[in-house]
Every structure is written in structure tokens, then in C-alpha cells.
Amino acid sequence: MTALQPVATPLVHLKPVQLGAIPAMAAFLFLLLVLGTAWPAGAQDTPRVQVFGGYSYTRFDSPSFGFSSPSGLNGYNFAPAFNLIRNFGVVAEVSGQYGSNLDLRDIAVGPQFLYPKGKALFFGHALIGSARSLVRVGNSEEDTARAVVLGGGMDFDLTSRFAVRVFQVDYLHTSLFSQTQNNLRFSTGLVYRWGAIKKGHRAPPLGQ
């Protein structure tokens, strides 16, 4: 692609960002597991199907594009999931975050790991997909690159069909415009679910 116009005279020197956020995310997921283990025990079933939709905020690594500081982007996160067994499933996500000078969208899929405890459902996931960014400074430029999403969070039951996603935190690694971005995303919203996987059993057919 042609050189980005907005970074022709960058405010900071372009340089690859080290993946220092990965150990921090690993520590977060470990803390999530510890908190889940400490939660009072219960007989909650795992939903077979989950559909999450809600608000997301991304702290985007825009200095890799030549901006002076990271950008705060606001948007949405939509993620349907199908759970194969009580503690394991597959999840996909479509996410978009928007700011005054740039946008970030991604689509990704991968495994998720579940730990039901009382009215809470703890989860972690590792997703791979594609990210696309539009930079609107000078001559607007777009680029698409691989995205890796590592994260987790907690849902809390409201009713048998609905839960609130109390929090979801994701480390989002992208390499747009041949630069490395280490981004952090926070999401919250509602989860609709149906079907149930009993402890020690596989999920029943959807018609049952």
C-alpha cells in the first residue's frame, strides 16, 4: 500500500511495540480463575448457546500510526457462542470501535473455556481473525491485518434466559499498516442464552 499521509511527519518515532501486555493478560486470566474457584459453589448449568451484545471501549495503540498518545474508541461487541460441553465451547465476535480520527473493526473466532459457579459464569477465550482500520487524517487510508484476541470475563444471572456481562477484558493484538499495536478493550452488556448442559452431561439437542 502507499505510505500513510497522516504519519508522513509523525509526532513520535514509529517503532514496534513489545508484547509486554501478554504477561499482564495471562496474570489477569489467572486471577479470574482464582476468583472463580473462591466463589461459593452452586449447581448452575452451562448454557448451550450464548449471544452477547453490548458496549465496548478500546484503548487503541495509535502512536504506532504517528499519533502523540493512545486513542479512546467507543463502539459495540457482538459475540455468539456454542458450547460443546460444560466447560468448553466455540465463540465468534464482531466488534467495531470508532473515534474522531480512526476506526477499528474486527471479526474473530476461537475456543472459549467456561467455569460456572453459583449465579456467575467465568470465561476465557483465545480468538484469531482479521482487523480493519480506517485512519481519517489527510488522505484517509485503510488496512486489514490479522488480529489475535486474548481475554475473559464474568456473566451474572438475571433470569433463566438473560445474564449481565459484568465485565469482559481483552488484549487485542494487531499489525496494521506494517506496525504492531497492543490494544486493550473493555466490554459490558447483556447475554441471551438457551439450552442447558447439565454437570457431567453433554448438551441435549436444541429441540429438547
Number of neighbouring beta carbons within 10 Å of residue 184? 18
The residues near 30 (Cβ < 8 Å, ≥ 6 apart) are none
Domains of the chain: 51-197 (2.40.160.20)
* Prediction pTM value: 0.75
**Ramachandran angles phi, psi of 32, nearest 5°:** -60, -45
- pLDDT (0 to 100) of residue 39: 45
97 strand-pairing partners: 75, 104
Residue 21, amino acid: A
Strands 88-98 and 46-60: unpaired
How many Cα atoms are found within 13 Å in the side-chain-facing hemisphere of 87? 6
Predicted local confidence at residue 66, as pLDDT:
87
C-alpha to C-alpha distance for 71 and 61, rounded to whole angstroms: 7
- Average pLDDT, 10 consecutive residues per value, the chain (208 residues): 43 38 50 47 77 98 92 97 96 96 96 95 98 87 96 96 97 95 98 88 53
